[in-house]
Structure 1
Amino acid sequence: MSSLTHPSASDSVDEIEKSTIRKTIMMLVPLMLAMYVVAYIDRQNISFAKLQMVSSLGWSESAFGLGASLFFIGYLLFSVPGNLILSKVGAKRWFALSLCAWGIITIALAFTQSLTMFYSLRFILGLAEASFYPGLIFYSTQWFPTKYRPRIVGFLVTASMFANMIGAPLNGSLLSMHGIMGYEGWQWLFLVTGLLALVLVLPVLFFFPGTPEQSNFLSAEQKKWLIGRLEAERREQADKSVDTLFKSLTDKRVLALALVYGFICFGAYGISYWMPTIVKSFGVSDMANGFLNMIPWALVMLLLRWLTKNPDRTNNPFINVAMPMFTAALCLVGSVYFFSQPAISFAFICGVVLSVFAIQPCFWNMAKFLSGASAAAGLAAINSLANLGGFFAQNTIPLVRDQMQSASAPMIYLAIVMLVGGLCTVMIIKWLQRKDAPSSATTVTN
């Protein structure tokens, strides 16, 4: 009879878990998403600026592509140091400084007069943004148990889709402001998107929460549960072979995951960078181009909402990481085959976007062997090395376009890269599972 009137201990723990996670998401995620939306709009603006900037300044596609890609060199060099600084000084101060820096640099891009200036600013912009995304991933490991992290990464990826969705018409509209107050459309694009970053500096400084130990929005019971759960997972999942900075940076698993994520970044930045140009080749206006580019991002938001709602859907790396690469390659070929039929070609492009961006919430679970201080370095190393994929994408895709003199040639090139990426990913997943098997057996025995 008492069991009907008094909740069991497990029911009580479940309720604490649900209320703690719900409250933590409510307090942390909105500002995280706002920052990431602004960051992604800032990354997207270069692909729209290209539509006017190349002809306005008399540059070639490949010269512009080199400048755009230098962002990733700065990103590579400072991602690990930046994330280590973040882990020392705290997310609030470091994120505010990053927002301030990249806002000012983006505004400076509006006054670019030479390739040298363009190259320098793009490189410095990479330094400013280098630790932002890996910093958010690391920050989520300090607040959320493992099974909830794909949901948080899903929120971030959804935010990037939302940024692409609203950024496309925003950038198209800003390009249409050509001539207002004596500025060209591409200049307005950099001015406005740079100001968006500066607007968020004060909210981050005043409202961004600290660590769970320092939080004032959790009750004592909720705080105790969260800290205890996170500490238990660190003890269970942490691999002592990567418990130092040097070990985490040189571990073969970190390097292998960087290669996998590099292919993902190649596909993501490749399609994001070239999609406005492809849609423009259908004969639409800048404004229509912006609105059409909203569609694939809206579809990805719906897919991610469904995918991350149930943690069981993000557990299988073969289905969630490798298979979408093969699907993306197939859709890229389809977009070229039906290039003369814009509606069908665009549908295949939507399939590419859906495939590539559905991978990211699931990918980071493969790095759960990293924990504590080594996680800041290891996660940043994976992210920074992988973003070389973006460097090569924004460098080589315009080069393929210039050499082949075909708007569809870059899509075939991207399809080949994604196919190779899928094959490499399958082999790496199998290798990681074999490498993890002995430690799992030891844990069970103990």
Structure 2
Amino acid sequence: MDSALAHASPAAPPFIDKIERETMRRVARRLIPLLMVCYFAAYLDRVNVGFAALTMNKSLGFSSAIFGIGGGIFFFGYFLFEIPSNLILSKVGARRWIARILITWGVISGITAFVTGTWSFLGIRFLLGLAEAGFYPGIILYLTWWFPSSYRSRIIGIFMTAIPISIVTGSLVSSQIIRLGAWGGLEGWQWLFILEAVPAVILGFVVLIYLTDGPEQASWLEPEQRDWLVRRLAAERAQREAIRHYSLGETLRNTRVWLLTLVYFGQNVSGYGLVLFLPQIVSRFGVGVGMNGVISALPFAAAAIAMVVWGRHSDRTGERNLHAAAACFLNFAGLAVCVFLQDPTLMMIALILGQMGNSAIAPTFWTLPTAMLSGTAAAGGIALINAVGNLGGFLGPYLMGVIKDGTGSFSLGLLAIAMGALVSTIVLVALGHDRRLEEVPDTAGKGSPVTAR
């Protein structure tokens, strides 16, 4: 990770002056590791239910459809509180609000260990969504407060490697916890929820002490570094608003914002439909729980590399839409082709490629709304896209569960969720180029171009 952060500033161009390079390297090293660890904990608590299902479903008598609903109902709670949460964050600051989110979702995730049936399971998953609402879009918004636009694709790519890393690590650790079996009156799946909830609560207090709300308060930057960053970000904000300044109301009615929401919805249909059912798909290959963890980790290990490479290439070329569209199409193709495959090895290769595409979408996708929005409009717009788009996280697992119960096979379910990625591909190509993505003159000081990507 240190190597990746060391290259967070643009590679090689001689016109980038020393203060920019040193400032952005210091900001990246100060903020990104902590944010990655927090997102690691968030995603682990969100998807560990997939491994718990290997024994929990039998213990509590859940069908695949009930598990799919429970896995996805998280996103209804998330949807309801997403926009209010992000607006509160923009008012009170990231430090206090992100700490609150971490602590409350950690506590609720741990309580999942004590569900006793369908309704308590559905209720606690809904509450988990309420507690975590605003975390991811809040981080995306927070990154726009610190990183000029020409850095964002690779920075988001580095930050979001926390997802595949959490799934890789979570797959290996979760499978071993499940294997421990009953202890102290609790089953393995119960210990899974309890033990994996602890890091989120601890990190909440770390964030409260360590995080800085914005560059103006960054005492750990030199005065000239702080001044440069504040001026650079202000110049970019002025450039966006010179083209069009959106109010919050205009943002929530904007056609382009809603089309981007549809793109994100499609990504989540395919992403969560796979991640929550992957351990069950792999178990059909005839492997034990321990080896299941290793095999289930493979798509996400490859995805971590794809995210960073895709984001860096997008920043170097300055192109966003087609990078995101190509990633969506790879996601579609990798999942859809599984309907024709019976060999476990070939199916895993296809799933690896599909997940590489799914994970590579985000680093370029999130540069699109942040190129047109600022201030409260950015807080509301990013939250809207994430809130509504994340409802795809309900539809994907639901489709997988219902189709599995109806056909006895996961292949048609993979084809169904692949359609979400295909819709995302079509919409991104149709959206075309936004002139806010073009390079604009440097008004923040000599040395480097100011861009509005």
TM-score by length of 1: 0.91
Instruction: Indicate conservation of the 8 Å contact 1:239/1:370, yes or no.
Output: no
Aligned to 2:227: 224
The residue that corresponds to 1:321 in the other structure is 324
- Letter paired with 1:319: L
Q: Does 1:243 align with 2:261?
A: no
Change (3 A) 1:381 1:52: same
Contact 1:148 1:311 in 2 (8 A): no
The answer to whether the Cα contact below 8 Å between 1:308 and 1:314 also exists between their aligned partners in 2 is: no
| Counterpart for residue 6 of structure 1 | none
Q: Which amino acid aligns with 2:352?
A: C
SS at match of 1:176: helix
Query: Residue by residue, what CA displacement relative to the aligned partner does 1:202-248 show, whole Å, maximum 9, x if unpaired?
Result: 21111112210011111111111100000000000136755322122
State the 1:324 CA deviation: 2.3
**What is the CA–CA distance in structure 1 between the aligned matches of 2:95 and 2:218, rounded to whole Å?**
13
The answer to whether the aligner puts 1:59 opposite 2:62 as a matched pair is: yes
Q: 2:175 matched to 1:172?
A: yes
Partner of 1:289: 292
Q: Which runs of 5+ in 2 are unaligned?
A: 1-12, 442-453
Q: 1:362 aligns with which of 357, 361, 364?
A: 364
Q: 2: distance between equivalents of 1:241 and 1:437?
A: 11
Contact 1:315 1:362 in 2 (8 A): no
Distance 1:403 1:246, change over 3 A: same
Deviations 1:333-383 (A, max 9, x none): 3333222x2111111110111111111100011111001121111111111
Determine the structure 1 residue equivalent to 2:124.
121
Structure 1: runs of 5 or more not aligned: 1-9
- Structure 1's consecutive aligned runs of 4 or more residues displaced over 6 angstroms after TM superposition are 10-13
**Cα deviation, residue 313, structure 1:** 4.7
Q: Cα gap change, 1:338/1:196 in structure 2, threshold over 3 Å: closer, same or farther?
A: same
Answer yes or no: is the 8 Å Cα contact 1:241–1:247 preserved in 2.
no
State, as a whole percentage, how many aligned pairs show the same letter: 37
Equivalence for 1:5:
none
Q: CA deviation at 1:421?
A: 3.0
1:408 maps to which of 390, 407, 411: 411
Question: Which of residues 176, 193, 197 is equivalent to 1:194?
Answer: 197
Deviation at 1:310, TM superposition (A): 4.6
Q: Which of residues 349, 352, 357 in structure 2 aligns to 1:350?
A: 352
For residue 17 of structure 1, report the CA deviation from its aligned partner: 0.6
Aligned partner (choices 303, 307, 332) of residue 304 of structure 1: 307
In structure 2, C-alpha distance between the alignment counterparts of 1:86 and 1:240, rounded to whole Å: 26
Which amino acid letter does the alignment assign opposite residue 31 of structure 1?
L
1:23 counterpart SS class: helix
Counterpart Cα distance in 1 of 2:424 and 2:320: 14
- The answer to whether the 8 A contact 1:263-1:418 is kept is yes
Displacement of 1:407 in angstroms is: 2.5
**Counterpart position of 1:87:** 90
Residue correspondences, number: 428
Partner of 2:22: 19
CA distance in 1, matches of 2:242, 2:293: 46
Structure (1 or 2) with the greater helix fraction: 1
Asked if 2 retains the 8 angstrom alpha-carbon contact of 1:269 and 1:394, the reply is yes
- Of residues 418, 421, 427, the one that matches 1:418 is 421
Q: Quick one: distance in 1 between partners of 2:314 and 2:436?
A: 25
Question: 1:328: how far off?
Answer: 2.2
8 Å contact from structure 1 (residues 86, 135) kept in 2: yes
- The answer on whether the counterparts of 2:322 and 2:428 sit within 8 Å (CA) in structure 1 is no
How far did residue 437 of structure 1 move? 5.6
Q: Say yes or no: does 1:43 pair with 2:46.
A: yes
How far apart, in 2, do the equivalents of 1:391 and 1:221 lie?
A: 47
In 2, Cα distance between the equivalents of 1:323 and 1:303? 12
Do the aligned residues in 2 keep the contact of 1:83 with 1:376 (CA within 8 Å)? yes
In structure 2, C-alpha distance between the alignment counterparts of 1:343 and 1:327, rounded to whole Å:
18
Query: Which has more radius of gyration?
Result: 1
Shift of 1:254: 1.2
The two structures have a TM-score, normalised by structure 2, of 0.90
Q: Distance in 2 between matches of 1:84 and 1:314?
A: 33
User: Could you say what secondary structure the match of 1:144 adopts?
Assistant: coil
